Structure 1
Amino acid sequence: MTDILPKNLHIAVLMGGWSAEREVSLTSGNGVADALEKNGHKVTRIDMDRNLAMVLDNVRPDVVFNALHGCPGEDGAVQGMLDLMQIPYTHSGMVTSVIAIDKELTKQQLVPAGIRMPIGKMVKSADVFKADPLPRPYVLKPLNEGSSVGVAIVTDQGNYGNPIGRDVTGPWQEFEELLAEPFIKGRELTTAVVGDKALCVTELRTKDGFYDYDAKYTEGLTEHICPADIPADIAELCLDYALRAHQILGCKGTSRTDFRWDDELGTDGLFVLETNTQPGMTPLSLVPEQARQVGISYEELVEMIVKEAL
């Protein structure tokens, strides 16, 4: 990387918080902080609590590296506070964060632009105990959680009952409303964008079940094939969709777009599931892995993200 940041920046790394993704955020944040210190910056590590504004007012960093995952660090709340405090920060701004964390709002932006996404509908959790909202198999997921938190795949075998049992463990016990989408069979793909460049495509092959929270963050449960062994036209379409999603949503720094690909249907079988505006930066995370694949080290990656914030 030719354009390096000054070595005397004071960077506050926000991590932790109280979302379902707290532990992942702590791992991401400490990895980022270690890299920034290695690069010669002064780093203040902040495990976010509800006194964050007071803490930041005392610390007064040059820039904040937002390593939070989930709400309120990824949904626009923290971004709005940082805007009011006039502190620069990494990753996407408030409006983009509000839209991208909401799967239905994201569809309203991307589908009219020609980006294929599964079309579902919002359902009351109480209604799934009466009848299926869609033909099986289908997926139920919270509207604004990341890392596959709370995702349930309802199959023809009736693995949650038929209809779904009120007392069976699932997202319907935690959320009043859920997004129901058709289940897309096939392969799990993902593409990271850094700055204005889509990096490459990774295929994710889980050893058991689907690519859920445990599969994402437990070593050995998922095989990362990077670059993915897929036809050139599918790889090109993934790169195109990911970059366009990044641009349409107004993402900054880095994002990661996740896909399902029904390989029996060619390009017609590729669907965007979501765009993550603050992807993980853990040792198992996909953005650092793809960056390495194209010749960008972890330390260079965090520098690039901070540079765009400034």
Structure 2
Amino acid sequence: MASLPLSGHHVAVLLGGLSSEREVSLVSGRECADALERLGAKVSRVDAGRDLAQVLAKLKPDVCFNALHGAWGEDGCVQGVLETLGLRYTHSGVLASALAMDKAKSKAVLAAAGVTVPGGGLYNRFEAARAHVMAPPYVVKPNAEGSSVGVFLVFEGANRPPGELTAPGWTYGEDVMIEPYIRGLELAVGVMDGKAMTVTEIIPRTGFYDYEAKYEVGGSQHIVPARMPAAAFEKALRLSEQAHAALGCRGVTRADLRYDDINDILVLLEVNTQPGMTPTSLVPEQAAAQGVDFDRLVLWITEDAYARDGAGGIASSGETPGESAS
């Protein structure tokens, strides 16, 4: 009997972590660890705490599958730890991770690369809470969080900004990004090995693609491929590839976009360097639409980490799933 693709390989799956997205990461990590075991790997599930370096130094895995989301795990910090330890790891490197997590800096890089991004700017949260810094409708979001944590929509006619910005329990940093609200379609594009997969149209159950809409079963409806004009569809693919390249990303990313179908305006909001791998996540769904099941997606992500230092992949093909592998 032929051995499984990852037989004999030790993979440490980093999950959980210290961020506000811990619960999502636990689910992503569980799903990926289960897939890696089905693929024959020896899997160590590592709940990434401040002793991560010591834990990994003792485990000595062949590769780390980074299933962390949010601050510390997705912003270049853990990537720096892994670089220092000399361990191969999945997804983007230190600089790309740090850039993509910082909304203000990534927008500047993307705009310079010709990617259409929303206007707006960075404000101290207390300044943003005193009075409208731009005419509603607009969006307020932490500068370095994901999964729509701490995001507020300020609708036309609102008397004042969100009071939550000055709440004693606010933990999302002192600076917030404020952008004009773009009406229309909520879109996502997965990019794998630099190539866009397809465009998903997202219809949140509550009208806003918040944390619950992202991760609760039935929280949103995903339409693949998105219902939009062909020219705008192709532009969404192209902008997502441009953004992936401009930030220096590797492996799999997901771009979030908005499309104003009345005025034909398409903007790219941000790039997620470690997209979710939960049962409701968009990238596995897009991969499946391209004929790549979840296990093959996880295998490719792991192989990609192995291949970066020129040592070659684990399996024999080395191809992006769905291109020419059977």
Fold match, TM over 0.5? yes
Output the TM-score relative to the length of structure 1: 0.94
Aligned partner of residue 261 in structure 1, secondary structure: strand
Residue in 1 aligned with 2:156? 156
| Partner of residue 262, structure 1 | 260
Residue 24 of structure 2 aligns to which amino acid in structure 1? Answer: V
CA–CA separation in structure 1 for the residues paired with 2:42 and 2:186: 39
Aligned residues between the structures: 303
Query: Where do 1:35-50 residues align within 5 Å?
Result: 35-50=35-50
Question: How far apart, CA to CA, are the structure 2 residues paired with 1:87 and 1:173?
Answer: 31
> Structure 1: where are the runs of 5+ without partners?
none
Partner of 1:245: 243
Superposition pairs of residues 195-234 of structure 1, within 5 angstroms? 195-234=193-232
1:67-146 aligned at under 5 Å gives the runs 67-146=67-146
Q: 1:90 to 1:163 in 2, by over 3 A?
A: closer
Among all aligned residue pairs of Structure 1 and Structure 2, give the percentage whose two residues are the same amino acid.
47
Q: In 2 relative to 1, CA 171–230 (structure 1 residues): closer, same or farther, beyond 3 Å?
A: farther
- Are 1:139 and 1:180, in contact at CA under 8 Å, matched by a contact in 2? yes
The secondary structure found in structure 1 opposite 2:133 is: coil
| Residues 194-241 of structure 1: per-residue CA shift (max 9 Å, x gap) | 113210000000121310111100111200001111111111111111
Deviating 4+ runs (over 6 angstroms): 166-173
Cross-structure match for 1:8: 8
Kept in 2: contact 1:126–1:172 (CA 8 A): no
1:304 correspondence with 2:309: no
Distance 1:82 1:70 in 2: 17
Aligned residue type for 2:253: S
C-alpha change, 1:199 and 1:156, in structure 2 (3 Å) is same
Contact map agreement 2:5 2:40 (CA 8 A) in 1: no
Gaps of 5+ in 2: 307-326
Question: CA–CA distance in 2 between the matches of 1:129 and 1:6?
Answer: 52
**Is this contact kept in 1: 2:96–2:247, CA < 8 A?**
yes
Rounded to whole Å, the distance in 2 between the matches of 1:185 and 1:199 is 24
> Structure 1: how far apart are the matches of 2:270 and 2:165?
29
Q: Aligned AA for 1:87?
A: L
Distance of 2:230 and 2:237 partners within structure 1:
11
2:65 partner letter:
F
The aligned amino acid for 2:297 is: L
User: Contact conserved, 2:25 with 2:68, CA < 8 A, in 1?
Assistant: yes
SS at the partner of 1:245? helix
Cα drift, residue 128 of structure 1: 2.6
Amino acid in structure 2 at the alignment position of 1:66: N
RMSD: 1.8
Residue identity in the other structure for 1:235? F
- SS of the equivalent of 2:13 reads strand
Q: 1-side partners of 2:125 and 2:143: how far apart?
A: 12
Structure-2-length-normalised TM-score = 0.89
